[in-house]
Amino acid sequence: MLSTHQQPDTAIPMNMVEAVNQALHDAMAADEDVVVLGEDIATNGGVFRATEGLKEAFGIRRVMDTPLAENLIAGLSVGMATQGLRPVAEIQFMGFIYATLEQLISHAARMRNRTRGRLSCPLVIRAPFGGGIHAPEHHSESTEALFAQIPGLRVVIPSSPARTYGLLRAAIDCPDPVLFLEPKRIYRLQRLPVARHGDPLPLDRCFTLRAGTDVSLISWGAMIHETLAAADELKNDGISAEVIDVATLNPLDRETLIATITKTGRAVIVHEAPGHGGFGGEIAATLASDALLHLRAPVERVTGYDCPMPYFALEQQCMPGTDRIVAAAKRTLEY
Amino acid sequence: MFTRTPYECHTRLAVDGQWHARPGDDRWARLIEGYRTMALIRQFDKKAVNLQRTGKLGTYASCLGAEALTTAAGQTLQPDDYFVPYYRDQATQYLRGVRLEQILQYWGGDERGNDFPADAPAVRDLPNCVPIGTQLTQAAGVATKAKQRHEHTAVLVTCGDGATSRGDFHETLNVAGVWQLPLIVLVNNNQWAISVPRRLQTASRTIAQKAEAAGIEGFQVDGNDLPAMLDALDYALDRARHGKGAILIEAMSYRLSDHTTADDASRYRKASDLHAAWQREPVARLRQALVEAGHWDGDQEKAWLEHCQRQVDEAIDSYLATPPAPATDMLDYLYANLPPALLAQRAQLEQRTTGGHHA
Ligand SMILES: Cc1ncc(C[n+]2csc(CCOP(=O)(O)OP(=O)(O)O)c2C)c(N)n1
Ligand SMILES: [Mg+2]
């Protein structure tokens, strides 16, 4: 786990949204090229309070409430990033990120490539994502797979306060554009110790959250918590599950994934997004091509149904629950 | 006639309910009807906020302060016109025949709230639009259809002041000018986009003046003033229906509520500003004007408010008594016909959510 990165003497308890806030504070204090922009982020401190206090600490020159326009936010960020600023933009909800696609796909992700390294685009776009908080329509999407296919764009998804802090600091330091997706359902789930000045976390490694020998449960984001709960249940039934937090969808840490299957021979991939075209398919394909002879059962995928996340009256029925994860794990063992 | 300029706000009622220009005798019935709707929607809105507070509704966007402009929209649209709303248009939707219980169902997290009654004028209207500004270009598409079919209808689309910062807004005005579309863009300028004040959205003096660059007419109206809004929309919709082109109307209002029930406006808005805005609020203002003119009195008010209470309570009862939709609805409306590729998922979903029994 993360203990290697933590210095217990400096660790303070935070929830995930506090960890975002702390990482932004610390990154802005460390580097005055870091600027923050978005809708309602300055005076209001963000609708989830992720940017609270930044305006007071760093002023409106570096903490910018933009006009309401996501394409603008993305384009501003690209322009700033090409000229040496380190913009960290907030898109209020992932459901409103689609107007940024042209800037991300056609420019941010390929500026370095197009100019053969003359210009680059070290921006971070942060967006809360995922369902389960009874939000209005379009506020509960998990469309990470759309972004994970964009070559040149890193896609990072934390699932604990410490990984939020460490990965966000790394994302801001990273010379490449990063989409940083925050699973808002677990924003305030628990306060856990976070080492503020620990080493930044790697942007291309999975995290092994629990070691096991019988089956590998592979997930990311808020679903990590259902997955850990499933591992607990399986343990009660005498089944030892390894839990992998993918955390960085692009680039993907294939070594850790292959290594876990080499050990357990069984894989259950869990994500909230629809299964069809979901990022689980990329992982399954990796296992099929690079770990086939270690697989002792077909790879299971436990995902949302192939529909947009329903408006909240039905959202619980769409999200994978612990029961479905446990059942899938048992199928791999009974195969 | 009335003043139509981007720089001066057309007003009929002074804030104390005195008339700047009294309506003709044939106008009172419509104003009284408008007042009744405004009072009803105010009660509805208050109860909807309470339902959210007690966990019986999801996040709700209050229309407190928008009653006059949204009622005027509903009163001036003809049944065969088209309405393309954003999400603070409860009164317009109600007047288009959307039932109050459906509005609750929508904010209760249920897509069935978007399935407007088949016999209502709203049947062809688009549903609420949450991704800001995206309804505007769609409305231009609806207007293109109306124009191509020589319909003599008009399309009314609404948005907030914040939405005018999106490219969608400018793209819509632009095409509406080039193609002479029968499109009215009604901006509910309630001075705030969540925490961001109007002056941080645009440096132009008014939003209405943005029409000029698109080559269409634009003017500002007092959105807290029902008769002024009726003037504006009657004029604009009539012109659009007669092929005389698109119009941008900036309705000056004030968001008297928090942005939604998930917001706390005291973090970014001065209590004194809110207090001042209450002095201009639309419902009391029209009531005073009607009373002053002898067209409304305390007894009528009391009887009407009692009626509103009953009507809203019935809507709430009906909303709360509606059984939940089957979970399979999430798949069943996605395609015209359920693709065979989804049959297995559907069966699993049904099995999990009904325990194998049909609900
Ligand atoms: C594309 C998009 N970006 C952001 C949001 C989040 N959001 C919801 S309402 C809102 C402010 C809208 O302000 P305005 O257009 O003035 O309308 P009002 O709510 O004030 O009536 C924002 C930023 C959204 N729904 N859609
Ligand atoms: Mg507004």
pLDDT in tens, A223-238: 999 999 999 999 999 9
pLDDT, average across residues A2-16: 67
Instruction: Please provide residue A219's backbone torsions phi and psi, each rounded to the nearest 5 degrees.
Output: -155, -170
Between the CA of B164 and the centroid of ligand 2 the distance, in Å, is 10
**Distance (Å, whole) CA B256 – CA A322:** 43
CA distance B145 to B139: 10
Check B131 against A96: CB less than 8 A apart.
yes
> What tens digit of pLDDT does each residue of A285-303 get?
999 999 999 999 999 999 9
Q: How far is B274 from chain A (nearest CA, A)?
A: 17
Write down the pLDDT at residue A279.
98
Q: Is A22 helix (H, G, I), strand (E, B) or coil?
A: helix
- Predicted model pTM: 0.96
Q: Which residue lies with its CA nearest to atom 12 of ligand 1?
A: B193
Q: Is B320 on the interface with A (CB under 8 A)?
A: no
End-to-end CA distance of chain A: 30
Q: How many Cα atoms sit within 13 Å of A264 on the Cβ side?
A: 29
Chain B residues whose CB is inside 8 A of the A65 CB are 195-196, 200
**pLDDT reported for residue B16:** 85
ipTM of the complex: 0.96
CATH of domain A207-334: 3.40.50.920
Measuring CA to CA, which residue among B240, B222, B242 is closest to residue B231? B222
B28-53 and B100-107 helices cross at what angle (nearest 10)? Answer: 30
Render pLDDT for A111-129 as a digit per residue (tens, 0 to 9): 999 999 999 999 999 999 9
pLDDT (mean) for B302-331: 98
Which residue in chain A has the smallest CA separation from B266?
A: A44
- Considering every ligand atom shown, identify the ligand nearest to the alpha carbon of residue B133 and give its number: 1
A137 closest CB neighbour out of B130, B132, B260: B130
Please state the domain extents for chain A.
Answer: 11-195, 207-334
Q: Which of ligand 1's atoms lies nearest the C-alpha of B260?
A: 19
Size of chain A, expressed as the number of residues it contains:
335
SS3 of residue A62 by DSSP: coil
Domain A11-195 indexed as CATH 3.40.50.970: yes
Q: Look at residue B15 in the predicted model and tell me its pLDDT.
A: 86
Predicted confidence band of residue A199 (pLDDT cuts 50, 70, 90) = confident
Rounded to the nearest angstrom, the minimum Cα separation between A195 and chain B is 30
Q: What average pLDDT does this structure show over B331-337?
A: 98
Q: Which two tokens stand for residue B317?
A: 């009862």
Half-sphere exposure of A107 (CA within 13 A, CB side): 16
For domain B25-324, give the fold.
Rossmann fold (3.40.50)
pLDDT at B357: 53
pLDDT at A132 exceeding the cut of 90: yes
- B334 CB-contact burial (10 Å; exposed 0-12 / middle 13-18 / buried 19+): middle
Query: Ligand 1, atom 25: nearest CA belongs to which residue?
Result: B131
Residue A268 has pLDDT above 90, yes or no: yes
- Asked whether this chain's domains A11-195 and A207-334 adopt the same fold, the reply is yes
Closest protein CA for atom 13 of ligand 1: B193
- Is A4's pLDDT higher than 70? no
CB–CB contact B330 A317 (8 Å) = yes
Beta bridge partners of B135: none
| B34 CB within 8 Å of a chain A CB | no
Q: Do B267 and A44 touch (CB under 8 A)?
A: yes
Q: Say how far apart CA A62 and CA A226 lie, in whole Å.
A: 38
- Placement of tokens 């379009």 in the chain: A138
